[in-house]
Amino acid sequence: MHEDGGRRYFGTDGIRGRLGQPPITPEFVLQLGWAAGRVLTGGQRGAVLIGKDTRISGYLLESALEAGLSAAGADIYLLGPMPSPAIAYLTRSLRACAGIVISASHNPYLDNGIKFFHADGSKLPDEVEREIEQQLSIPCQVVSAERLGKATRVDDAPRRYIEFCKQLFNGGPRLDGLHVLVDCANGATYHIAPRLFAELGANVAAMGANPDGFNINLDCGAVMPQALCTQVRESGAALGIAFDGDGDRVIMSDDKGAVVDGDELLYIIASARRAHLNGGVVGTVVSNLGLEQALSELDLRLHRTAVGDRHVSEYMNNHGLCLGGETSGHIIDLDYTNTGDGIVTALQVLSIIVSSGYSLAELKARMHKLPQCTQSVPLQQTLSTEQSSQIRQVEREVSTELGQDGRVLIRPSGTEPVLRILVEGVDARQVRTLTAQLAARISQLLHA
């Protein structure tokens, strides 16, 4: 549960939590469907799409949402397992009032969540989320029988999205004979990504493409790309592509088995498109300092926002910038889509590789990352004013020790009950040591 700008339930990426614990319960989700149906359709007859990832709990929450939406008089289009960005696209193309994604993204299967897309495929504005929360306090009032919403299954949703991705690139880059490994994290891209890349001519080997409801993000995908990197190196593949559970993030592997993260992917895309970027690219407070330095050499400024794709997207829209992203691999290019899309990002990078003749390793070598270390400390409750002050003091002490060539960032996660610690500097050993020391000190402060 979150307390953010007057929102009790909505966090940085919808509503998320452990299944069976408030707010991710059937009773709450039914009420949420009803409240959202009233707000998003404006009380008129309208359609709302529902898609999901591959978690076992998706069946349960889908049924609860469907019942709530129907009770509010909204028609429902059921997409089944689909990537989040595909649901955003289909919301636009099917002219629905809204789209709903049942997913906890990169979290394990025990968690789940609900996030919404506006009719244009963008994330809901804060004021709309607040309006939905206000409706949650009103007892569910079922419309009359003749006004109940109907449910329809959209069987061709995967094909619609595949063709959309191809059309963005004039039919798609020619990948004839390119040996590609694709890790779908046993998530929502499992039946789409391997098929798409194969149709573009690649020799595709799929990993993490056998979801069973429990193995989503389990030792695979964008959150855990090590298995993919090992397989790329051992198989002699040209590169590897790893998505997260709901398909809005992508991390890649070069032919040597080295991870290519979101900062590096953002740099590769920016370097190929710098004439169209209005002088800037949007990152976050955790974007590597090496990205900022490399972009500066291209006469591009890195604008930093708070962590979260909604913050990146809002900044881009407010400042007339079209490219932005996060270290996690959540890349947004408004010239292609208005939300992060792992498959579209991968296609952009593949197009650059094909057109330039350079390998992924050669393209990423032009950016030099600074050593960076992250660690999470469990957070049992909201920080007190005293704890926040103590943590800021510790942060300042370590920043002083690192000097001008390093930085420290300590922040609460927007998706999990943890404090995120990031340390960046020139000396990798010092960075690792300081991160461990910081985590220990903060843990002591939280339990004092």
Closest CA to 131 of 313, 310, 9: 9
CB 180 within 8 A of CB 235: no
9: in domain: no
Which regions of 379-417 does DSSP assign to beta strands (E)? Answer: 407-412
CB 253 within 8 A of CB 225: yes
Residue 105 a catalytic site member: yes
Q: Last residue of some domain: 334, 364, 394? A: 364
Q: Are residues 313 and 164 in the same domain?
A: yes
What does the pLDDT look like over 21-59, one tens digit per residue?
999 999 999 999 999 999 999 878 899 999 999 999 999
Question: How wide is the angle at C-alpha 357 spanned by C-alphas 351 and 363, nearest 5°?
Answer: 80
Domain with 388, as residue range(s), is 372-447
CB 213 within 8 A of CB 55: yes
3: in domain: no
Q: Are residues 202 and 103 in the same domain?
A: no
CB 310 within 8 A of CB 445: no
| CATH at 396 | 3.30.310.50
The count of domains in the chain is: 3
Q: Are residues 358 and 387 in the same domain?
A: no
339: in domain: yes
Q: Are residues 57 and 167 in the same domain?
A: no
Cβ-Cβ contacts under 8 Å for 374 (sequence gap 6 or more): 286, 420, 421, 422, 423, 435
Please give the pLDDT value at position 6. 56
What does the pLDDT look like over 271-295, one tens digit per residue?
999 999 999 999 999 999 999 999 9
Q: Are residues 25 and 111 in the same domain?
A: yes
Please give the pLDDT value at position 2. 43
| CATH at 38 | 3.40.120.10
Which regions of 362-433 does DSSP assign to beta strands (E)? Answer: 372-378, 407-412, 418-424
Q: Which of 57, 84, 105, 271 is catalytic?
A: 105
Q: Are residues 106 and 237 in the same domain?
A: no
What the block records as the tokens of 335 is: 């010239």
Q: Are residues 23 and 151 in the same domain?
A: yes
pTM: 0.90
178: in domain: yes
Q: Are residues 289 and 305 in the same domain?
A: yes
295: in domain: yes
What does the pLDDT look like over 308-333, one tens digit per residue?
888 999 999 999 999 999 999 999 99
Q: Are residues 118 and 178 in the same domain?
A: no
Q: Last residue of some domain: 338, 364, 390? A: 364
Closest CA to 51 of 17, 1, 94: 94
In terms of Cβ atoms closer than 10 Å to its own Cβ (0-12, 13-18, 19+), residue 156 is exposed
**Residue type at position 209:** A
Q: Counting every residue, how long is the chain?
A: 448
Q: Are residues 274 and 423 in the same domain?
A: no
Q: Are residues 108 and 253 in the same domain?
A: no
What the block records as the tokens of 309 is: 């794709």
CB 240 within 8 A of CB 252: yes
2: in domain: no
7: in domain: no
Q: Are residues 291 and 211 in the same domain?
A: yes
6: in domain: no
Q: Last residue of some domain: 155, 173, 198? A: 155
SS (H, E, C) 282-294: EEECCCCHHHHHH
pLDDT tens, residue order, the chain (448 aa): 344 445 689 987 899 999 999 999 999 999 999 999 999 998 788 999 999 999 999 999 999 999 999 999 999 999 999 999 999 999 999 999 999 999 999 999 999 999 999 999 998 988 999 999 999 999 999 999 999 999 999 999 999 999 999 999 998 899 999 999 999 999 999 999 999 999 999 999 999 999 999 999 999 999 999 999 999 999 999 999 999 999 999 999 999 999 999 999 999 999 999 999 999 999 999 999 999 999 999 999 999 999 888 899 999 999 999 999 999 999 999 999 989 999 999 999 999 999 999 999 999 999 999 999 999 999 888 888 888 999 999 899 998 888 878 889 998 887 678 999 999 999 999 999 999 999 999 999 888 7
Cis before 23 (ω within 30): yes
Query: Rounded to whole angstroms, what are the CA distances from 162 to 9, 193, 262?
Result: 33, 8, 23
